[in-house]
Amino acid sequence: KAGVTQTPRYLIKTRGQQVTLSCSPISGHRSVSWYQQTPGQGLQFLFEYFSETQRNKGNFPGRFSGRQFSNSRSEMNVSTLELGDSALYLCASSGLAGEFGEQYFGPGTRLTVT
Amino acid sequence: QKEVEQNSGPLSVPEGAIASLNCTYSDRGSQSFFWYRQYSGKSPELIMSIYSNGDKEDGRFTAQLNKASQYVSLLIRDSQPSDSATYLCAVPNRRNEKLTFGTGTRLTIIP
């Protein structure tokens, strides 16, 4: 079974620009979660989507948004980029929503904001 | 108190020995616990999940859960240099079900 895929793998953007990241979950998985990983803050939860609905949201500003499509693919958008948004953005898919679902991570998108 | 706490290490273990990684969590009602391995520059990889008190074994890995003490550990037997990585403990927050990660323990296996 193919794993979680994320595109693009690397991205360099300028402050003030916006960016869209894409995630395709494992086939059959309907839950997609997004995380930000930085050396200082570690892994932090952004949001979770299940069946096209946002189930949970972490403590990030409204510049961070996402959506999920009917085929479970998900996109994450960051508007008005700031230098502090430089991070590894990880997508994880799960066959179950909620606390018992095992989450499998994609390779991540490394975003650099200059 | 942090929701999930781990000793950041680094933890150095000789090849062939047992590596012991520890994690404590604050929510007494937590029901599921996960261990991830992350190599430098890579994404986290799920290696163990545990839901019940006691031990769960998978190959060289054993997860141990003690809900009364709010403590979960990961033992790696016959440690190999390829086990050198950062190990992340993750516990879902029951209030919003988001997965909360510890800061990770960096493990180095010395040949």
The pLDDT value given to residue B96: 66
The pLDDT value given to residue B8: 80
Q: Counting every residue, how long is chain A?
A: 114
**Which residues of chain A lie closer than 8 angstroms to B45, CB-CB?**
105
Category of B69 on φ-ψ map: left (φ > 0), alpha (ψ -120 to 50) or beta: alpha
Residue of A nearest to B43 (CA): A107
Q: Is B94 on the interface with A (CB under 8 A)?
A: yes
* Residue A97: pLDDT over 80: no
A79: closest CA of chain B, how far (Å): 23
Q: Are B25 and B3 in contact (CB under 8 A)?
A: yes
Q: Is B47 on the interface with A (CB under 8 A)?
A: no
pLDDT band (50, 70, 90) for residue A90? very high
Which amino acid is residue B12, in one-letter code? S
**Which residues of chain A lie closer than 8 angstroms to B88, CB-CB?**
43
Category of A99 on φ-ψ map: left (φ > 0), alpha (ψ -120 to 50) or beta: alpha
Put simply, the answer to whether B97 touches A56 (Cβ < 8 Å) is: yes
The pLDDT value given to residue B20: 97
The pLDDT value given to residue A2: 80
A110: closest CA of chain B, how far (Å): 10
Residue-by-residue pLDDT tens, chain B, 111 positions: 778 999 888 999 999 999 999 999 998 888 899 999 999 999 999 999 999 999 999 999 999 999 999 999 999 999 999 999 999 999 987 776 678 999 999 999 999
Q: Is B5 on the interface with A (CB under 8 A)?
A: no
Instruction: Give the 3-state secondary structure percentages of chain B, helix then strand then coil, rounded to 5.
Output: 5, 55, 45
pLDDT tens-digit map of A6-49: 999 999 999 999 999 999 999 999 999 999 999 988 999 999 99
From A108, A26, A86, A76, select the one nearest B40 (Cα to Cα).
A108
CA distance linking residue A33 with residue A69, whole number of Å: 13
Residue of A nearest to B35 (CA): A102
Q: Is B31 on the interface with A (CB under 8 A)?
A: yes
| Percent of chain A at pLDDT exceeding 70 | 99
CA distance linking residue B11 with residue A97, whole number of Å: 34
From A92, A88, A89, A87, select the one nearest A105 (Cα to Cα).
A92
* Residue A1: pLDDT over 80: no
* Residue A106: pLDDT over 80: yes
Residue B5 token pair: 């706490």
CA A58, distance to chain mean position in Å, is 12
Q: Is B45 on the interface with A (CB under 8 A)?
A: yes
The pLDDT value given to residue A114: 97
